[in-house]
Amino acid sequence: MAAVDILKDVVNLLTKPWLFITLSSIVFFVALPRPSFWRPRLWLALGVGGAAFLAVSMLDPDFGLIVRKPDNVPIVAMLFLVGFFVWLSMYQAHQNDARIAAGQKPMEASEGEDQKTWVWPDLVYTELLCMVIGTIVLVAWGIAFQAPIEEPANPARTPNPSKAPWYFLGLQEMLVYYDPWLAGVVFPSLIIVGLMAIPYIDTNPKGNGYFTFRERRTEITFFLFGFLILWVLLVILGTFLRGPNWNFFGPYEYWDLHKLEALVNVNLSEYVWVKTLGTRLPSNMLVRELPGILLVLVYVGVLPGLLMRSDRVAGLPIGLKRFYDKMGFFRYSVFVMLLLGMVALPIKMILRWTANLKYIIAMPEIFFNI
Amino acid sequence: MATTTPTKPFLSRTWDYITDTQVWKSVFRHGMPNNSRNRVLVVFSNVFLHLHPVKIRKSGIRLKFTWCMGGLTFFLFLVETFTGLLLMFYYRPTVAYAYMDIIDLAEQVPLGVMRELHRWGAHAMVISVWLHMFRVFMTGSYKPPREFNWNVGVILLVLTLLLSFTGYLLPWDQLAIWAITVGSNMARATPLLGHEGPGAQLLALGDVPMVHAGSDARFALLGGRFVGEGALLRFYVLHCVGIPLVAGILMAVHFWRVRKDGGISGPV
């Protein structure tokens, strides 16, 4: 029994937001370019292991309570589906890369595949089969799980936690790090605009119509980081690991309404004026927040120009000169703004985890906090 | 005299008889699609099939390349339309009736599984539309000449989320109103347009604020200061008529452009 408890404690620890997101990101960046990581057997083992982990964990009452909620069932399914399709695409991408490196065409254009075939019967029967299977799955699912209905709506009694619909929980998780005007309005808009801008920013003519990684290394890395880490992972975090008061609870932890979390987050202005200079906070709002304002101005105003000058900045390979050369001024400007917007989230996360930073600019007087 | 014409089996004769009637011929203008001519005609003469080309590259129909996620999303949209229509027979979008109508649906309607299909179908559609976008990205299928259709797809993705979001409120239980409260509270912080958003204070005539709790973006979304009668009706109308209509039109554009931009993408 003790061994099981230790194991549970380890999992509870590993899923703490900072560790969970950091470890996932490391695995992501290590795995993506390495063909050996995408072998079918490894992923079969991962899938079976994941299912076994899920089945065994159901024995834990706290775990079962959350995972078995009818509305959370599709999210568990999504976890396995996303895993499967990420594997399928990356496996085929690396296979194609090997073929292209050997001077062959990608699989989609290989001998026989490039020939034409009849839509009737070949395609319409595939479609019919997909529809039949879809219907069977849906009906079985509908019979197995009743659609949930809770108590009648009561505006006077707020449930704790109050959660948005599951597909928006990534946004709700962002609220931990940014205020609603950013996490709920500006970032979602940027995501939509950013997605729409992709075909106009990405000028790489290669990799059109077939899976490949090597020919589109940067695009795929950016997109998948956004999709897998900043979206799917945060949805999972928000669904399964956030309990009352949006506090973190490990998968085997009881959702204790009275769990205490010390609020130790400090604004940048306090770091500068009080902790570094040893004075009181200036009474004028703009003077008080001057360090933060300057920092943000540098981030959006100076950094794009700095990154554009070379491929290495301060010894790190984070320069964007090669993109600027390819894209030209206008495309680069849009690209770099979207990129900085996307990276703003991990940056704030790291600042929060390491320095307890609350706001870079804190002007609650005019609802302007960053 | 010894030669007798071999008689065809009964089923075959019946089939010949049926396909020779005027009624059958008025519906199907060609024979069984088992030769080239009829395989062309079956696609050309059928309004549903004519979305397709007559012939298609082999890799373009392989599931390991296409995943069928776009098709599945469309199929789920049809499932949602059909089950949603049936649900509308039983459901009245008012605070007094909404919740009890849902309870009745579960307890009084024989073999009632439509709400289950509708809800799980909605979750499945969100997932399938993400996976469709994921496949399209991973095969670089947004690249020229398909840039515009990718954009139509992004809007359809957003509309799918909005369809699910507006439907979330309709059961009018605790889960519903508080999820929508959390979601719509964001609108309160919209820069300039939300009464707790940065810059909203700038929009004032002297001491009179133009953007306040009774006139901001959240108010427009909910038709009130909180999730109540007005929000329920708005979400119902958007869910059942407004968004499906726009999504339907955009789907037509999306499918049309798939064909016009050269069919399903493939290596050139």
B76 touches chain A (CB under 8 A): yes
CB contact under 8 A, A105 and B267: yes
B266 touches chain A (CB under 8 A): yes
Q: How far is B25 from chain A (nearest CA, A)?
A: 20
Which parts of chain A fold into alpha helices (H)? 2-14, 17-31, 40-57, 61-67, 73-101, 124-144, 169-174, 180, 187-201, 217-224, 233-240, 268-269, 285-288, 290-297, 303-309, 321-327, 329-355
pLDDT tens column, A18-75: 999 999 999 999 999 999 999 999 999 999 999 999 999 999 999 998 888 888 999 9
pLDDT tens column, B193-203: 998 889 888 88
pLDDT tens column, A212-249: 999 999 999 999 999 999 999 999 999 999 999 899 99
pLDDT at B135 (0 to 100)? 97
Residues 6-35 of B with CB under 8 A from A: 33
Segment A100-120 mean pLDDT? 90
pLDDT at B3 (0 to 100)? 63
CB contact under 8 A, B142 and A198: yes
pLDDT at A1 (0 to 100)? 60
Q: Which helix or strand (DSSP H or E) is residue A185 part of?
A: none
Q: In chain A, what percentage of residues exceed pLDDT 70? A: 100
A:B CB pairs within 8 Å = 269
Indicate the average pLDDT of chain B.
92
Q: Is the pLDDT of residue B5 over 80?
A: no
CA distance A24 to A310: 30
B246 touches chain A (CB under 8 A): no
pLDDT at B205 (0 to 100)? 85
Q: How far is A196 from chain B (nearest CA, A)?
A: 5
| Chain A residues lying within 8 Å of B121, measured CB to CB | 138
Report the range of poorest mean pLDDT among A90-99, A140-149, A219-228, B2-11: B2-11
B90 touches chain A (CB under 8 A): no
Domains of chain B with CATH codes:
61-260 (1.20.810.10)
pLDDT at B4 (0 to 100)? 66
B160 or B267, higher pLDDT? B160
Indicate the average pLDDT of chain A.
92
B41 touches chain A (CB under 8 A): no
CB contact under 8 A, B189 and A150: no
Coil/strand/helix, residue B67: coil
pLDDT at A136 (0 to 100)? 96
CB contact under 8 A, B150 and A151: no
Select from B185, B252, B18 the least CA-distant residue to A180: B185
pLDDT at A122 (0 to 100)? 92
pLDDT at B106 (0 to 100)? 87
Domain ranges of chain A: 2-108+122-147+162-174+209-246, 268-369
Q: Is the pLDDT of residue A352 over 60?
A: yes
CA distance B43 to B26: 17
CA distance B73 to B156: 11
pLDDT tens column, B189-241: 999 899 888 988 888 888 888 888 888 999 999 999 999 999 999 999 999 99
pLDDT at B36 (0 to 100)? 93
Q: Is the pLDDT of residue A125 over 60?
A: yes
pLDDT at B2 (0 to 100)? 58
DSSP per position, A275-312: IIS-SPPPSSHHHHTHHHHHHHHIIIIIHHHHHHH-S-
pLDDT tens column, B79-91: 999 999 999 999 9
CB contact under 8 A, B189 and A180: yes
A138 touches chain B (CB under 8 A): yes
Q: Which helix or strand (DSSP H or E) is residue B60 part of?
A: none
The chain B residue lying nearest A138, using CA atoms, is B117
pLDDT tens column, B162-193: 999 999 999 999 999 999 998 898 899 999 89
pLDDT tens column, B21-41: 999 999 998 988 999 999 999
